[in-house]
Every structure is written in C-alpha cells, then in structure tokens.
Structure 1
Amino acid sequence: RWRDKDTELQYVRNYKPKRHDVKHLRMLVHGPVGAGKSSFINSVDSVLRGRIAGRALAAAEVTTSFTKQYKTYKIPKGQPGEFYPFVLNDTMGLEMNEDRGVHAEDIKLALKGHVTDGYPFNPASKLSSDSLYYNAEPTKNDKVHVLVCVVPADKVALMTKDDVRKMTDIRETASELGIPQLAVITKIDLACPEIHKDLKNVYKSKYLKDKKFSDFAGIPMNCIFPVKNYSEEINIKNEVDSLILSVLRRIIDFGEDFISDMET
C-alpha cells in the first residue's frame, strides 16, 4: 500500500474543483484534545511546501485544547498569492465533559458554513445567530465538503462509548448533510513499537487493524488512515510524506464527489 510519493504529490498539485462555483474544497478537522489536529494541518502544509512548516500552533503535551479559535488555513502554491484549491479548518479539541472543549453545536454550525474565521470558541455556549461571527447566508465555498476526525493511536484502546459521544453526534449531523467523513489516526509510532522502529511496518501492525474505534465512531475501516505527524523532525521524510499524501488524496476524492453532488 506504499504508493509512489511523487505520483501522489502530482495528483494533489493537479487538483482543481470541477465546479466553477466552488473555489476551494473545505476540510474540517476535529477530534479530542491532544489528538494532533493542528500538527496534522502543519504536516500537510510541510509535505506540500517541501519543508517543515508550523503555522497552526500546536502544543507538545496538552490536557486542554490549545486551539481557541476557528481558523482557515490556505497552503501557498508556486507563485506569491497562489494557493492550493483546498483549505483546512482547525477547531478547538473535543473534551468529554459537557462544559469543556469545543461545543459540539459549533462544529455542526461550521459544517453548514455558518461559522466565520476567527470565531473564539466558548465551551459554555454555542455560536448565536446574532453574533458577528455568524454567517447567515453561507455559500458553497463556506460549507464543509469533508469532515476529518483526528484520533491519537495511543489513546484509541482506552476510549469508551462516552468518549466518542460528541464525535458520534457531530458525525450524525455530517451524515444528514451528506458530508463524507474519514478518520486520521495519529501518533502511530507511540502506540506500536514495530512502527516506531520502522514506519514502513504501519500496514503490518495488528494494532491498527483493531476495529474498536471503527465500531465506536461508525467510520468504516477503509476510511481510517494511519499517519505520523511531523513533530520533532527538522527535515521532511519520504515515509512520513507518503502516509500524509495518501490520506490527503482520499480527502480530496471524497470532497470532490460531494462537491459534484451539491445542488446548483
């Protein structure tokens, strides 16, 4: 399942939404606190730029969410002012306590395109329709085209049904809207000694064939992708790039299918 990195990179570079009324494909990244959501966005940025990038601020070890605002990331491509035709939205982490972490209703509003950039997440209350950050009339570009759930491999085995309650709630709303979903499993090298030894062992690992997360979250096994985020590296590596490009290509394919099916 190791694909040629250059082929995958070219596929991503050549991508353009087929619809003229959609400027960019929007990916919304969500998941538990400390899962590596911001690091995943940075890793995608790093792969496409060919150097380590760190625009989405990420903390090394966190127990509460480091991301406080709804933020859209565009990735530069080629000439100054030119960007890839997809954007990634970072969100505050999900905490299992009702009064902490991102409010699940905010993620649901974001899916529909109602949340604007810079909105400061408030765990105690969801975005209200009279807020400056509320977009009353979202366009096709404002709406989310793919929902990406990021989960840390070293915590999957410890998850309970309560832990994924908020995730399931969000997933059900996405399903109602027809938005495709996939999961990215991060920190695979921390969870499995064989992968830590050699990232190429990732697809042989029994650990990652565990159906527990798939059963809980309701995401099929073939829509769950292992990655290693760039965290301590100072240079990019082919194996790390390959896993990230593999999931990015799938995200683009899912999103493009959704865009094609949107009503005119």
Structure 2
Amino acid sequence: MVTSVKEFKIDNDRVRELRFLLYGPIGVGKSSTVNTIRSIFERRAFVNCLAAAASGTSHTKCYEKYGIGNGREGMLPLAFYDIMGVEKQESAGVRTDDIINALKGHIKEGYVFHTQFPITEKDPKYCRNPSLSDRIHCLVSVVGAEKITMMDQEFINKMRKVREAASGMGIPQVVFMTRVDLACPMTKENLKNIYRSRKIKELMNTCSNLLGVPVNCIFPVKNYHDETHMNEEINCLMLDALTQIIHWAHDYVVTFSTIPIHKE
C-alpha cells in the first residue's frame, strides 16, 4: 500500500496536489491523523502537529497545511489541511461559513480563524477566484468512536450542514472514526479484531445515521498516541483509508477538470 501511494500521479498538470480537509470536534484526532499519516511515510514516530486534549481547546488556530513524504524520497502530491475544532456553540470553535469557504478554495494557508466572524473578501488571506487546484478535493470528517453516541445535536447539525455544502459542490466526503480502542475492549486487545467487532460495526451504523454518510465511506482507524515505535496494524488501517480517499479525491479532480468552476 505504501508503494501504491508513492507511485500515485494526478491526471491533471494544473493540479499539483490533492487537498484533504480534516474537520470535526476538538480532541477527536484531526491533528493526530496528520501525525499518523506522516509517521507512516517518515517510517518513525512523527509528532509535528499538536493534538488537543478531548476536554481542552483547539491547538489549531489557523489554516495549516501538512505535506506527506520525506526529505530523502521527496514529497507526495497530497496535502492535508488542519483547522480549528468544531464546538457546539455558534460563538466558539471554527465557523461553519469558514469551513464552506475553505471547501470552495477561498481561504489561503495561514489564515487565522475568528470565532466571532467569518473571513471576508477584504482579508488578504481570501482567494477571490479559486481554481480547481485551490479547492478541497475531499472532506474528511473526524469523530471519536467512543463519543459518537454522545454527540450533541448542535455538533451533528453543524457537521451535516458542511457535508451538504460539500455534496452540492460534488466534493467526496468520508469519516475517519478514530479512537476505536477506547470504544471496544476486543479491538483494544487486538487491533486485528476491528472488522470482527460487533460494537465497531454498530458505531459505524450509528455514525452513518447521524451524519448521513454511507457506511462504506466510514473508516475505523487508530492514530498513534502513546506508542513510541511503529505498529503495522495501525499503519495498515490508515493506509487502507488513505488509499480510498486518494482515489475518490482524484475522481473529483478528473470530473471537474473539464467543468468550469463558477466564481462566487
């Protein structure tokens, strides 16, 4: 799977990289997902993207881009964008308007999020006429497996609104269901049990019903957290999910390569 990802090429010379936006509540593993993917390709535990505690506030305050690859073998044509976490109050966390603007390609890297107001066209970090290359090519919602059944309706409404906006733009959407070891004792004992676990399957179905995402677009994964050495089981789960979202993001790019993007 590593070789397959390394050999991947984009069928559009104007799009240098596939862009993935990580979106979800605070402390569920958005930043840890970036660290896990980078660890796989660095072939060592890699911690560069600060992760927030589940009960804390978001470490991510600005629109940050993370490339995948390493200095020895070069970077891959993939970029993950990490943003401030979602909070249930409208006046806290990342604003839904900003997420939708990011999907459309209106927000440039380095923009500092404000909880009280969204980006405006006057902001120097606002991209007025985004190209296909500026857009997000796949929306990755990140939720904690052990918290799915306890998600507030406000969270669900916000995430559904973003998902519906992505659907209107034709952008593929997936869910990374993280922290599976905290939700299922059998999976915690042995990660290979993840697809044998009735509990994990039930949580995937619940997640599908709550967020409106098909079950086959929900990937149960585990991020590196307290591990100090590489773990092939963690790697395989994440690589399987990564391979799928690369294909779907690329399908989006190919489809919209011949369709003009409406200026907004």
- How many residue pairs end up in the alignment? 256
Map 1:124-163 onto structure 2 (within 5 A): 124-163=116-155
**Equivalent in 237, 240, 261 of residue 243 of structure 1:** 237
What RMSD in Å do the two structures reach over aligned CA positions? 1.3
**Equivalent in 15, 23, 38 of residue 45 of structure 1:** 38
Q: Which position in structure 2 is the counterpart of 1:5?
A: none
For the residues of structure 2 that align with 1:106 and 1:245, how far apart are their CA atoms? Answer: 29
Tell me which amino acid in the other structure corresponds to 1:148: V
1:260 aligns with 2:254: yes
For the residues of structure 2 that align with 1:158 and 1:214, how far apart are their CA atoms? Answer: 14
Map 1:1-264 onto structure 2 (within 5 A): 8-77=1-70, 79=72, 82-210=74-202, 211-264=205-258
For the residues of structure 2 that align with 1:191 and 1:182, how far apart are their CA atoms? Answer: 20
SS at match of 1:163: helix
For the residues of structure 2 that align with 1:143 and 1:65, how far apart are their CA atoms? Answer: 24
> Alpha-carbon deviation of 1:111?
0.3
> Alpha-carbon deviation of 1:153?
0.5
Q: Report which structure shows greater RCO (CA 8 Å, sep ≥6).
A: 1
SS at match of 2:127: coil
TM-score (norm: length of structure 2): 0.94
Q: Which position in structure 2 is the counterpart of 1:3?
A: none
Tell me which amino acid in the other structure corresponds to 1:17: I
For the residues of structure 1 that align with 2:211 and 2:53, how far apart are their CA atoms? Answer: 26
For the residues of structure 2 that align with 1:125 and 1:251, how far apart are their CA atoms? Answer: 31
Tell me which amino acid in the other structure corresponds to 1:48: F
Equivalent pairs: percent with the same residue?
A: 39
Range with bigger deviation, 158-167 or 242-251: 158-167
TM-score (norm: length of structure 1): 0.94
SS at match of 2:155: coil
> Alpha-carbon deviation of 1:62?
3.5
> Alpha-carbon deviation of 1:70?
0.5
How far does the alpha carbon of each residue in 1:30-68 deviate from its partner, in whole angstroms, 9 at most, with x for none?
001111100001100001111111121113444321211
Q: Which position in structure 1 is the counterpart of 2:261?
A: none
> Alpha-carbon deviation of 1:21?
1.3
Contact 1:161 1:216 in 2 (8 A): no
Unaligned runs of 5+ in 1: 1-7
> Alpha-carbon deviation of 1:217?
0.4
> Alpha-carbon deviation of 1:169?
0.6
Range with bigger deviation, 71-80 or 99-108: 71-80
